A and B are shown apart, each in its own frame.
Chain A
């Protein structure tokens, strides 16, 4: 293995040099001795010996050069030869390169996304030690209360820092009008914990995080530049947020995107210091607070979990009424952010791995086919004395060249893929902005290239090396049949390809069935010509500022009578508008205001405390949405403060709370003194269920309060009516709603920020977006896989037919009908497909459980899917087999036999 020797020498330069030096020394000494023997004086003898050698250094140099030169020379020879071979069969080369490029490109793009989103640490100090604490079982970024946060912070031994935040929204008065922005409230130590520095000014001080502390604000770079023209003297200026003035103390750089859960809007947010309100200090069940901590060095998440168990237990002891059942859960922060997509990504990585394997199998098959065609060439070369290694090396160099070409094209495809990822709607993928091709990706490309070379070239190469020149030369002239190892291997490869594509097809089928189910789910509302949009008062209360006004204080006038009613009146009378209504949390509106409630007359214990989503609605809501009222009536605009307090509930609530009993006439208690909802509400109707958070999750209990009956003194008033409300408008034709709405609000309430106009159909589509995207991607991969299978199967069968021409001719001569020959070849093809299918389905049944979480009302062992996959692959197999089979049937016996 001279090649290896040379490479080794390149590294072991020292040893080689020492050997050369020693050899030269020996040589000179021998010559000196001989010179003396022939009569020279010793000194002269030595000089002569040295002179004859010339420049020893130069000689050594030349010896070393020989190493590198021969290496480059032979490598160059191999490459040139490989290139010539590839150029000689452009069809083969094009197919092989494209096959590899598709596999490599897709994998590289996927790896880029995975690396950027899942693997790369968050841009904070010690990101690996950041953990998120939430009540056990809470979905997503579950929140707890300020009091629980305080107790966790004070009692923890394992976390070196505990910070908290609550997400909120508000309206800021910029240089050019009102803008609605995210206004997270954070504890001052948040910035320290994350290691974030202000771009301008400073972050919050301890003092600013206390009740009654200075009213300050930090702007995001985006907001600063867009709404304040990047004013360099912004520090110390006051800005109006939610109708209050606040002093700007700092600007955070664009790279600061905390809290990540806010999504891309955070780039235009502003931050308030969290100043605990009276409610927060009082009510342990006031769950509005997100808790983040940094573990001490060496502490593990498991340790923290057990510590939180103890803290929760302790909280239960000091506050048995509210904290008795508290259970806390801790998760690494990065996992919180990427958790929702990691499953999808892993699924896609697996799918693409399969595509790459299929691509390699196909290229391997092509190479094997070519080896067969080049058998004579190999045989001649072997007969001429080329060693087995030399032939293997030649094939590996060809494979490497193919892989390199595939990588080059694939890299282009990957860049296109990454570009298209950036075209996805914002916030489809967490950390989407960070996605970029980096050196790790290029490294990965290298790894993939090596893998593809090994998979696609080594096998054929090893087979070629087994060539027995004599036999090959003989059989090549005779075109003899017989089951060679090589042909059987091609068959296995095709069966393997079928198995892999069966897996992809199964995934496609399951996702397709899921999407079909989702699109045909009873939404509970009609999406036709309904537009929804968001409105925010300029003096928005914000969710973090909720409070109950003192009982005897004079109730302020409601925004309902001041703004919403007149606005709705105008909207309903606007041209083209059929119906319009206000609703705080519409279906798929992204708002989820929940509350606990009790039923008047039921026992006052934990078992009779229920949870529901709460919304305020105007009249006509059910007409706009086309949702049926099942019993009783819907609340209307006539249900005002002067009338008896009433609510409508949804079917799920009626069923969960009352079962078979009649819900009408029952009274709901929404908290009394704690919340300011002093009077109970009588249930007057039941409305049909609507999907709420997403199409694929079951509806939750839902309470619809008439917007005229939310007391302005209650906690519900700022939450339901003074922070964000939504309007739903049903139009007569397809029309753009936004301009008309903006002009109406300009007259009624110019400070209102209107935002987020979208049709209900858009809301539904975006809710199903991830499934749809998954279906398109996996479906696309499956299509690719099928094309490769067709090519592979066709290739193998065509090969088989040309290999067995003589045998087929003989059969025909002996009386076989062309039909029988046709069936024979198709049967052979379907045997490969059948074997592959059996394996693919077996693996699919086992692996189906992995995708279960993406399925909606589809079992992993979905019969439709499996039947469909079998039919598709059988049809595909038959089609691929048909052409070679016809060729076989068309063999002319006399001609073939005469060729003998």
Chain B
């Protein structure tokens, strides 16, 4: 099966999630909606991958989670960026920039 083109690129999900959470605590659904909206539907988080990723990031200590109440009074798990996560975000951002820069210069060079 050919994956939808606008699925989030392998390996960038973490960066996107971290970046999203940098704005403030949010629940899983909110994260998908946010990524989709900000990218103007260009990026779509595959929901089946989001939660394993969140779980892993939590274990790494980049984000922390707690149960809270959503805007319409539903119990939801809210994720928050930790200091470590902030560092991780900076790192991933840097390496992403390096990557795009490298790819960009390669493309321009052609």
Report which A residues bind B (CB closer than 8 A). 2, 5-6, 9, 19-20, 22-24, 26-27, 29-31, 33-34, 52-55, 58-59, 62-63, 65-67, 70, 385
State whether B74 touches A67 (Cβ < 8 A).
no
The reply to whether B51 and A20 contact each other, CB–CB distance below 8 Å, is yes
Check B27 against A26 for contact (C-beta < 8 Å). Answer: yes
Interface flags for B46-60 (1: CB within 8 Å of A; 0: not) read 111101100110011
The reply to whether the CB of B29 lies closer than 8 angstroms to some CB of chain A is: yes
Q: List 17 A-B contacts (CB under 8 A).
A: A2-B60, A23-B51, A23-B77, A26-B70, A27-B28, A30-B74, A53-B48, A55-B48, A58-B48, A59-B48, A59-B51, A59-B52, A62-B48, A63-B52, A66-B59, A67-B55, A67-B59
Given contacts A9-B59, A26-B28, A70-B59, 19 further A-B pairs with CB under 8 A are A20-B51, A22-B75, A22-B77, A23-B76, A26-B77, A27-B28, A29-B74, A30-B70, A30-B74, A33-B72, A53-B48, A55-B48, A59-B49, A63-B55, A66-B55, A66-B59, A70-B56, A70-B60, A385-B87
How many angstroms from the CA of A29 to the CA of B27 in the assembled complex?
Answer: 13
A34 to B70, CA, bound (A): 14
0/1 interface trace, chain B 24-36, chain A, CB 8 Å (1 if under): 0001110001000
By the criterion CB–CB under 8 Å, are B59 and A54 in contact? no
A181 to B59, CA, bound (A): 73
Q: Which of B39-97 contact A (CB under 8 A)?
A: 46-49, 51-52, 55-56, 59-61, 70, 72, 74-77, 87
Decide: A54 and B46 in contact? CB cutoff 8 A.
Answer: yes
| Interface SS, A side | helix
Partner of B47, one of A19, A27, A33, A385: A27
A54 to B51, CA, bound (A): 12
- Across-interface contacts of A52 in B (CB, < 8 A): 47
A66 B70 Cβ-Cβ under 8 A: no
Q: Which of B47, B55, B59, B76 sits near A53, CB closer than 8 Å?
A: B47
Least CB distance from B73 to A in Å reads 12
- In the complex, which residues of chain A have a beta carbon less than 8 angstroms from the beta carbon of B33? 34
How far, in angstroms, from A55 to B48 measured CA to CA in the complex? 7
User: Residue on B with the closest CB to A27?
Assistant: B29
Query: In the bound complex, do residue B27 and residue A5 qualify as a contact, i.e. CB atoms below 8 Å apart?
Result: no
Give the CA-CA distance A62 to B77 in the complex, in Å.
19
Closest-CB distance, B97 to chain A (whole angstroms) = 20
Contact A66/B56 with A22-B75, A29-B74, A59-B48 known, Cβ cut-off 8 Å: yes
Which residues of chain B are within 8 angstroms of A27 by Cβ–Cβ distance?
27-29, 47
CB nearest neighbor in B for A387: B84
Q: Given contacts A19-B77, A54-B46, are A24 and B51 in contact (CB under 8 A)? A: yes
Q: State the total of A-B contacts with C-beta under 8 angstroms.
A: 66
Residues on A with C-beta less than 8 A from B72 are 33
Number of interface residues of B (CB under 8 A): 22
Using A24-B51, A385-B87 as known contacts, say yes or no to A31 and B29 having CB atoms under 8 A apart: yes
Looking at chain B's contact residues, the main secondary structure is helix
Q: In the assembly, what is the distance between CA of A52 and CA of B47, in Å?
A: 7
**Smallest CB separation, B76 vs chain A (Å):** 5
B49 to chain A: which residues have CB within 8 Å? 59, 62
Q: How far is A593 from B25 in the complex, measured between Cα atoms in Å?
A: 94
The smallest C-beta distance from A10 to any residue of chain B, in angstroms, reads 11
| Nearest chain B residue, comparing its CB with the CB of A2 | B61
* Max count, chain B CB within 10 A of own CB: residue among A23, A55, A58: A23
**Minimum CB distance partner of B87 in chain A:** A385
- Closest CB-CB distance, B107 to chain A, in whole Å? 33
- For A62, the chain B residues whose CB sits under 8 A away are 48-49, 52
Question: Which are the 9 A-B pairs with shortest beta-carbon distances?
Answer: A54-B48, A30-B29, A66-B56, A62-B52, A63-B52, A59-B48, A27-B29, A2-B61, A53-B47
Closest to B71 in A: A30
Closest to A50 in B: B47
Nearest to A69 among chain B residues (CB) is B56
Residue of B nearest to A70 (CB): B59
**Given the complex of chains A and B, what is the CA–CA distance between A614 and B56 in angstroms?**
87
The complex places the Cα of A30 from the Cα of B29 at a distance, in Å, of 7
Q: What residues on B are CB-neighbors of A34 within 8 Å?
A: 33
Chain B residues with Cβ below 8 Å from A54 are 46-48
Query: What separation, in Å, do the CA atoms of A22 and B60 have in the docked complex?
Result: 22
Chain B residues within an 8 Å CB radius of A65: 52
Give chain B residues whose Cβ lies under 8 Å from the Cβ of A63.
51-52, 55
Contact partners of B47 in chain A: CB under 8 A: 27, 52-54, 59
Q: Give, as a whole number of angstroms, the nearest-CB distance from B13 to chain A.
A: 13
Which residues of chain A are near B87, meaning CB under 8 Å? 385
| Residue among B55, B72, B76, B77 with max Cβ neighbours from chain A (10 Å) | B55
Cβ of B52 and Cβ of A26 under 8 Å apart? no
Closest to A49 in B: B47
- Bound-complex Cα distance A70 to B27 (A): 23
**Nearest B residue (CB) for A20:** B51
A26 and chain B: residue at smallest CB distance: B76
Contacts of A19 in B (CB 8 A): 77
Query: Bound complex: CA of A30 vs CA of B76, how far in Å?
Result: 10
A189 CB to closest chain B CB, in angstroms? 67
Complex partner residue of B28 from A9, A23, A67, A385, CB under 8 angstroms = A23
Q: Which residues of A contact B52 (CB under 8 A)?
A: 59, 62-63, 65-66
Q: How far is the CA of A58 from the CA of B52 in the complex (A)?
A: 10
A143 to B68, CA, bound (A): 81
Closest to A53 in B: B47
Which chain B residue has the least Cβ–Cβ distance from A66? B56
**C-alpha spacing A70/B52, complex, angstroms:** 12
List the B side residues contacting A53 at CB < 8 Å: 47-48
B77 touches A2 (CB 8 A): no
Bound together, the chains give a CA A54 to CA B70 distance in angstroms of: 24
| CB closest chain-B residue, reference A56 | B48
Report A-chain residues with C-beta under 8 Å of the C-beta of B46.
54
With most chain B CB atoms within 10 A of its CB, the pick from A34, A66, A70 is A66
Point out the residue from B29, B59, B75, B76 that lies within 8 Å of A6, measured CB to CB: B59
- B77 contacts across to A, CB distance below 8 A: 19, 22-23, 26
CB B70 to nearest CB in A, in angstroms, measures: 7
A19–B77 Cα distance when bound, in Å, is 9
CA gap between A19 and B15 in the complex, in Å: 24
A2 to B49, CA, bound (A): 21
In contact, B51 and A26 (Cβ under 8 angstroms)? no
Smallest beta-carbon distance A69→chain B, Å: 8
Residues of B within 8 A of A31 (CB): 29
List chain A residues, Cβ under 8 A from B55.
Answer: 20, 63, 66-67
A24 contacts which chain B residues (CB < 8 A)? 51
**B59 surroundings in chain A (CB, below 8 A):** 2, 5-6, 9, 66-67, 70
